[in-house]
Amino acid sequence: MKHEKSIQDILRAVGGKDNIKNFEHCATRLRIILHDNSKVDKALAENVEGSKGYFFNTGQHQFIFGTGKVNEVYQEFQSSQGTGETASFKDDVYSNMNAGQKIVRTLADILIPLIPALVTTGLLMGLRGLLLELGVEMSDTVLTLFQMLTDTAFAFLPVLIAYSATKKFGGNPIIGIVVGLMMVAPQLPNAWAVAGGDAAPLYVSLLGISIPLVGYQGSIIPAIVAGLLVAKIEKNLRKVVPQLIDLVVTPFLTLTVTIFLMLFILGPITHQMEVYVTDFILMLIEAPLGIGYMIYAGLQQVLVITGLHHSLSILELQLLAETGTNVLNPLGTASMAGQFGAAISAALLMKNKLKKTNAISSTTSTLFGITEPLLFGVNLRSMKIFISGILGGAIGGLVTYIFGLTATGMGITFIPGLLLYTSSIGALVQYLIVVASAFASAFFFVRLQAKKISEEINA
């Protein structure tokens, strides 16, 4: 086998084949869950041949091999085990998580499948802006068609989320779709029109209480709650409804009870919570003198280390739905660029040619928005390197604040992220300056500490 030495090193590090409970892989890492974590030899795990780093998180021993290579290693590892990836891997992962980690992972499982559609929408927004910037004249018909391409996904966002949430929680996704459609039905006043003063809520009296009904265009949390309700109500009904009438009664009650609760009780409450959360995040980011921008851009990669960065998707979605732009995207890229600059600077200080080559190769996936190999393979080996990356990211955040730069979409960063800034030549240039400033400053901060860092990484 091409990667036999790597696999043998892993098996020795984790306590042998019999200690492996489950395993799978992601874009860059081989993830292993063990029966007994005390059998792990950390020193061996950190020196697996071909691996760019090792770390333990949420009950998973994760070996970083990088994009492409991890697929080859996984296939050979699978063959050596004699068993494949099992359907219970996620259950094993969840069993090792605390409540906060489970919430973040659940949100990620719901939102990540939607990202390709939302990325495409953002790219189309950028394309329309670029064409207009270049002076291309468009007829009303063409502009209307462009509006259809760019606005549909966000107008019907609750439908997509209700579908994904219902599927995640084990309910009938089709019922989730119908509930989502009802939440944005044209019979309800459009949420954006109400917010803009062009329409008024539809007031309904219930038990003497006047309840304003508004559509849920662009809402996220209410749609997740709706998907959860569909799944829970459906599962409980199937326990008591006779099979003879289950096909009709269960969907009917699931649908009507869910939409009643969402329109009159849970929907208004969760939507208001959503507004408060978004306003709070914006308030923090918009702190005076760009301080919020600097803190976010500096520390965003800390969330990547913990795995909590997946929860940021819900904030980006809400920003796009409410403001039409996404300031977290350039700040996230600035954070990556800072760590990238620090890693390259540190790699050039390495005297061992093999270590230097491995370090540089572990940074390449960062150009496409994947930073785990860089973080665990280079930067976290010395806090001086990592902190230099944080400072570089903060400077990139300050430049973002000065420019007032925002993205037209989400889901892609660094080089692919260029496509989200094609609305104008100026925005594209500003994005490149943000990346360059974060990279160069982090590179410089590592060089300021070159002697001490060199001693640490070459020991």
Q: Which two tokens stand for residue 422?
A: 């094609």
Contacts (Cβ under 8 Å, ≥6 apart) of 80: 1, 7, 11, 17
3-state SS, one letter per residue, for 331-347 = HHHHHHHHHHHHHHHHH
E-strand stretches of 121-215: 202-206, 209-213
Amino acid at 177: I
**How many beta carbons lie within 10 A of that of residue 439, not counting itself?**
25
Of the residues 16, 18, 26, 204, only one is catalytic, namely: 26
E-strand stretches of 207-272: 209-213
Q: By C-alpha distance, which of 299, 156, 143, 161 is closest to 218?
A: 156
Contacts (Cβ under 8 Å, ≥6 apart) of 360: 344, 347
283 and 274 Cβ atoms separated by less than 8 Å: no
Looking from the CA of 230 toward its CB, the CA atoms found within 13 Å total: 31
CA distances to 210, 214, 257 from 207, in Å? 8, 19, 17
- What DSSP letter does each residue of 26-78 carry, written as one string? -SSEEEEEES-GGG--HHHHTT-TT-SEEEEETTEEEEE--TTHHHHHHHHHH
Q: By C-alpha distance, which of 124, 114, 331, 333 is closest to 220?
A: 114
Is residue 268 annotated as part of the catalytic site, yes or no? no
E-strand stretches of 148-266: 202-206, 209-213
Catalogue the active-site residues. 26
